[in-house]
Structure 1
């Protein structure tokens, strides 16, 4: 790692603070519920108040705007995502309400958790990129790419759960990379000491931490399961390769006994426990959706069990039935939506999502004004990432570099599984969890372009100059692209003509139909 160590932490802190500040500016605007906040902000308040997502009255939006927060009535509501992301929204809202200048159940309150976690994900990516590149410059650049992406920015300023999903996936992967470094260091030490037949490599706390993070991700959205499976296989593949590289004898047996089997329990097992724990509010609440389904359907073999056993089994049966209902919803979701998109469209940003638009504004000094929040990834980031991923493919095929392979797996796990659901209604923000890996692909490609450092025997001054120019051009494009789109990412009131100048394609205005 670069020396002195504080340089890496300083870079992470500064880039993270920058990301936090630009996300907190005017966070409370628009001062109303918009897009899917109508579900998640209300569900978060229900969790905080009742322990479960709760049914609301029909005019809840209007009552909330009037400051009337005692609007929840009836029974628990059927929701289609696990509760962890909404618990995080509720925690942020609660803590914001404790501040002298804050207010619970305000627009800023229900969005502040997303802003904080969005900034923390930038800090995390800087630390991860530093470990993968050993370059403070490239690490800070990775964080800046993430901080200045339009999709990450808008998802950090809305009470939805996708930013939390992305954060926990990134945190889990980071823990596995740290575990990889520590494990290889132990194997190297044992090999140097002549212990070529070493089996157990000691307690692997970072792998347990990864299991916890992936559990939090799965407890936010089920799509995290793709990452849990992909990175669970990757971490044991790293173990196998390390043992082979160290020249150990009988690698398959030692790998299976001391690496693969324990890794399953440390990742999948821990993730399952964390996931189950996230439903504690539902377990303990008498009004949870479907909470008493099992008690009302005691038939067959279940009717033969004694009451004490049923008291333990029935809540789990009810939860399994609830999950079956959730799965039926997700697999059957095919309703049309103007801003729905297919996975192949995400990488090229063909159909972003208009989270908010108001064409009735009159305070911009022009005849017609517009105010918008367009959930769109910065084209400079996403379009350049296509080329960067092609470079990663070539790098991995040619040199089998683990960094290229890991980045490509992160992109694939967040993208390819969605192609198996061609009829399902999907949106571009489903691609958010793979964004950090696209940012890593960009900075790794820039690192290859710039070549070796000056203290390396293979250093080339000409390549360094050319690569430096390329690096500067790419980073300036990303900064300029974000500044250009910022007004339509942050609900600024601007002349209609300025808004139209930023709508490069018809699908950015009218959605998947392309016309209107």
Structure 2
């Protein structure tokens, strides 16, 4: 395990560890020696321009997602399942006209979040879409913060431009925009996955250092010295409790955690890479099993509270118990996903999604007259990231 001195040497001696934003006090004097010694980190300056850029891209995303949200009228695509589920969760069977879930193919959290909008605004189009729109808008803002931190080794202006470009591309991305304007589950999964990645990056940059400085605080004791890793586990649990596909983000989090450990010990180059990787894995394993294993499972199970009948204080295998209900739901979901075949006439392979070779028809209606298709020759706005990443590596 690394010592406190080595951790400070790697990450800088006096950086505050819990702040998302770090702004340089313009009234203080900074010498070249201070900058070289790590007393400040000029690469991480969060300026007024960043606040303005974040506000602008978030406002733009909100306008695109909230204006005219009540149209189209009626259920769009799979809203017929999830809007009814959300209504049943929050308003009950009498108000919703159903006495059982319209679909039980996914965990309950995202359905409940859709239902929260219904509870606040009513069982209509705006009500069952508003929380998805807010989740999509928040994801754009979080992506700005994430990219701004990942570009910390660049000049502040370049980091700001890069973060704004990434967030703006997500704000106008066809698929994310449409998913943010319908009452479906996927945009919530994306929100929690971006949160998990952001928290993992914060843990890698500052989590260990905070533990050294504040190891006596109760937060540090509860989080085993890694508050941002605890937050990562919470976000992973929420992503999985929205849809099982959210669990895949756990592999990315593991790579990030181990990557920061390797970077702190000298990077991935050198003849002892495998040994250092194994050492990092062993160091992180006990804490990871709790914060990235048990904690997400606890969040996942907690998402069923209030949605399943039966007593808690009962044997898990006892019919009618709360725990048996959770188990039966997992088996039901597993059987559905395993039995799903790939013979749908409108299916598209994942590799083609960046090119939008087969766009999804979310809604179509014609009452006489004629219609015209407007087709774009340009793929998804974010698709340029793939060749750009390869070019940068080359």
Shorter-chain TM band: 0.7 to 0.9
Sort the Cα spacing of 1:377 and 1:169 in 2 relative to 1 into closer, same or farther, 3 A. farther
Contact 2:232 2:292 in 1 (8 A): yes
Equivalent residues in 2 for 1:201-240, closer than 5 Å:
203-240=225-262
Indicate the residue corresponding to 2:390 in structure 1.
390
Aligned partner of 1:44 among 67, 83, 86: 86
CA distance in 1, matches of 2:336, 2:281: 38
Contact 1:359 1:371 in 2 (8 A): no
State the shift of 1:317 in Å. Answer: 3.4
Contact 1:114 1:157 in 2 (8 A): yes
Sort the Cα spacing of 1:140 and 1:325 in 2 relative to 1 into closer, same or farther, 3 A. same
Sort the Cα spacing of 1:94 and 1:268 in 2 relative to 1 into closer, same or farther, 3 A. same
Equivalent residues in 2 for 1:431-510, closer than 5 Å:
none
Q: Which moved more, 1:77-86 or 1:317-326?
A: 317-326
State the shift of 1:320 in Å. Answer: 2.0
Indicate the residue corresponding to 2:97 in structure 1.
71
Indicate the residue corresponding to 1:511 in structure 2.
none
CA distance in 2, matches of 1:265, 1:379: 41
CA distance in 2, matches of 1:309, 1:151: 40
1:281 aligns with 2:306: yes
CA distance in 2, matches of 1:239, 1:344: 32
Indicate the residue corresponding to 1:90 in structure 2.
115
Aligned partner of 1:32 among 74, 95, 104: 74
Q: How many equivalent residue pairs?
A: 333
Sort the Cα spacing of 1:28 and 1:338 in 2 relative to 1 into closer, same or farther, 3 A. farther
State the shift of 1:170 in Å. Answer: 0.6
When the two structures are superposed, what TM-score results if normalisation uses the length of structure 1?
Answer: 0.58
Indicate the residue corresponding to 1:122 in structure 2.
140
CA distance in 1, matches of 2:133, 2:373: 21
Indicate the residue corresponding to 1:111 in structure 2.
129
Indicate the residue corresponding to 2:353 in structure 1.
346
Which has the higher Rg, Structure 1 or Structure 2? Answer: 1
Aligned partner of 1:337 among 335, 344, 348: 344
Indicate the residue corresponding to 1:357 in structure 2.
364
Aligned partner of 1:265 among 290, 304, 323: 290
Indicate the residue corresponding to 1:148 in structure 2.
172
Structure 2 unmatched ranges of 5 or more: 1-42, 153-158, 214-222, 268-274
CA distance in 1, matches of 2:46, 2:117: 35
Which is richer in strand?
Answer: 1
CA distance in 1, matches of 2:46, 2:321: 57
SS in 2 for 1:223: helix
Sort the Cα spacing of 1:377 and 1:383 in 2 relative to 1 into closer, same or farther, 3 A. farther
When the two structures are superposed, what TM-score results if normalisation uses the length of structure 2?
Answer: 0.74
Indicate the residue corresponding to 1:171 in structure 2.
195
Sort the Cα spacing of 1:8 and 1:39 in 2 relative to 1 into closer, same or farther, 3 A. same
State the shift of 1:378 in Å. Answer: 6.4
Cα RMSD of the aligned pairs, angstroms, is 3.6
Structure 1 unmatched ranges of 5 or more: 55-67, 98-103, 190-200, 293-305, 362-366, 396-516
Contact 1:358 1:370 in 2 (8 A): no
Contact 2:106 2:242 in 1 (8 A): yes
Indicate the residue corresponding to 2:51 in structure 1.
9
Contact 1:16 1:120 in 2 (8 A): yes
Contact 2:91 2:119 in 1 (8 A): no
Sort the Cα spacing of 1:6 and 1:150 in 2 relative to 1 into closer, same or farther, 3 A. same
Indicate the residue corresponding to 1:326 in structure 2.
333
Contact 2:356 2:380 in 1 (8 A): no
Contact 1:228 1:268 in 2 (8 A): no
